[in-house]
Chain A
Amino acid sequence: MAWGVVGLVILIIVVLVVVKLTSGTSTTNATSTPVTTAPASVVHDVTNVPASVFNKIGVTSNEVPVSAPIVLSGQPALSLKGKSPAMLYLGAEYCPYCAAERWAMTVALSRFGTWSGLKITASSHTDVYPATHTFSYRNATLTSPYLTFSSVEELTNIPAANGSYTSLQTPTKEEAAIISKYNDPKYITGATAGQVSFPFVNIGNKALISGASFSPAVLSNLTWSDIASNLDDPTNPATQAIVATANYMSAAICASTSNAPASVCDSPGVQAATKALKLG
């Protein structure tokens, strides 16, 4: 009798799992935002944030909490493809937290080089913070005299039959080794060795970012144009979150580039971040 009851429960669970597996097409029919070329106006706005906005905001985001990067010490300069300093980003197009972080990264890195190949898309329509408008780095490159930037978008935002998303890019062996080393509880509190969390950013081995620096909620229901066009308004909550995070990133980049360029690294906004991170 007792084992009969146990058997019945097991049968129920097996039936549920089998039904789920055999009806797995529902997720593949979910819509996703296509990846398209970023409009010139959006690219212009995100790469030309006024210096006054950076300096007025500093690292202060009044309405949306912003987390500072994790500062590393005693690590060798990060090198990628034989070039140093370097910065590595690992994420996925479906990921809403990557969606938020890419705004700050795009803004920050535009101060150190020139973007090309930027695309726009949105995060998963069925995950938390659905369809957060963002960029995709799948074809993007940053041309910079100060650092080498490498990005990996591991998954798309297109649902796959197995419940995940379709694969897109794979880290190189060199990139995988960096991720494996630093995506570790020794450096990131709460990290699980061998389990990668997106977004993961290594800024010159001076700082790490694991997870979004601010909640994607602030970007809800905003289009790319909405977000980009407000980047000249230091009172806008989304702008404050993006720019504060960008200043933190800039400070870490400056620490790895020996404070070059001075126009960025000596700016009040970046200096405020440098002080907050105790990178000085």
Chain B
Amino acid sequence: MPSLRWQPTATLLLSLAGLGISIYLTITHFDKVALVCSDNGAINCAKVTTSPQSEIFGIPVAMLGLVYFIPMIALCLPMAWRSVDRRVHLARLILSIIGVGMIIYLLIAELFIIKAICLWCSGVHLITFILFVIIVTVSPVVLARSYESDDTAYQGA
């Protein structure tokens, strides 16, 4: 059975980076003092982070990013990757699928409704997508390992 090498470290680092950017976006969402425009009108004057689409049910999307990355960090810790409890791996997989679903929605909002992109937001989207790719592609391995551990434990009993 192939073992994980770089994936746990990569997912942890990506999650930490995503959390960092989400914290920054959360701060700027509430602290609207940066009254600047960029020299490229397409990435423009805080249009994305102040748009109606920047909140879902009244919750800033940036804060939803915190809600996403904090548990993801926990689920990407080395001990979580080593866990034989398949619920940990399933939770990580499900969270990554929810994350990529969210970025598809936000991409639609940026491209077709707001008609502007936010570089920092795009950074979070990219991180979420890469996390999704890594997690989805290794999930068969870790889930199979956790099922084997269950079988072993059952047989041992």
Contacts and interface: CB of A to CB of B under 8 A. Distances in A.
A6 interface: yes
Interface string A194-220: 011111000000000011101110000
A16 B42 contact: no
Interface string A179-193: 000000000001000
A79 to B, nearest CB: 24
Contacts of B37: 91-92, 94-98, 127, 197-199
Contacts of A20: 111-112
A9 B41 contact: no
A224 interface: no
B9 interface: no
Interface residues of A, number: 47
B50 A128 contact: yes
Interface stretch (B15-23, B78-86, B130-138): B130-138
A155 interface: yes
B140 interface: yes
B129 A9 contact: yes
A185 B91 CA distance: 41
A164 B41 contact: yes
A16 B108 contact: yes
A41 interface: no
B127 to A, nearest CB: 14
Contact of B47 (A1, A16, A128): A128
A246 B45 CA distance: 23
Interface in B36-72: 36-42, 44-47, 50
B115 A27 contact: yes
A197 B36 CA distance: 6
B45 A97 contact: yes
Given A1-B140, A128-B45, A212 B132 contact: no
A98 B42 CA distance: 16
Interface in A145-202: 154-155, 159-160, 162-165, 190, 195-199
A97 B35 contact: yes
B140 to A, nearest CB: 6
Given A6-B137, A197-B36, A163 B41 contact: yes
A13 B133 contact: no
A124 B38 CA distance: 13
A20 B114 CA distance: 12
B10 interface: no
A13 B132 CA distance: 14
A198 B36 CA distance: 5
Interface string A2-18: 11011001001100110
Given A6-B137, A210-B36, A13 B41 contact: no
A139 interface: no
Contacts of A100: 35
A155 B47 CA distance: 17
B136 A16 contact: no
B139 A97 contact: no
B140 A92 contact: no
B107 A163 contact: no
Contacts of A16: 104, 107-108, 111
B40 to A, nearest CB: 5
B38 A197 contact: yes
Nearest to B137: A2
A31 interface: no
Interface string B85-121: 0000000000000001000100110011001100000
Interface of B: 33-42, 44-47, 50, 100, 104, 107-108, 111-112, 115-116, 129, 132-133, 136-137, 139-140
Interface of A: 1-3, 5-6, 9, 12-13, 16-17, 20, 26-27, 67, 91-92, 94-98, 100, 124, 126-129, 154-155, 159-160, 162-165, 190, 195-199, 210-212, 214-216
10 contacts: A13-B129, A20-B111, A67-B33, A95-B37, A124-B41, A127-B37, A160-B41, A163-B42, A163-B116, A195-B38
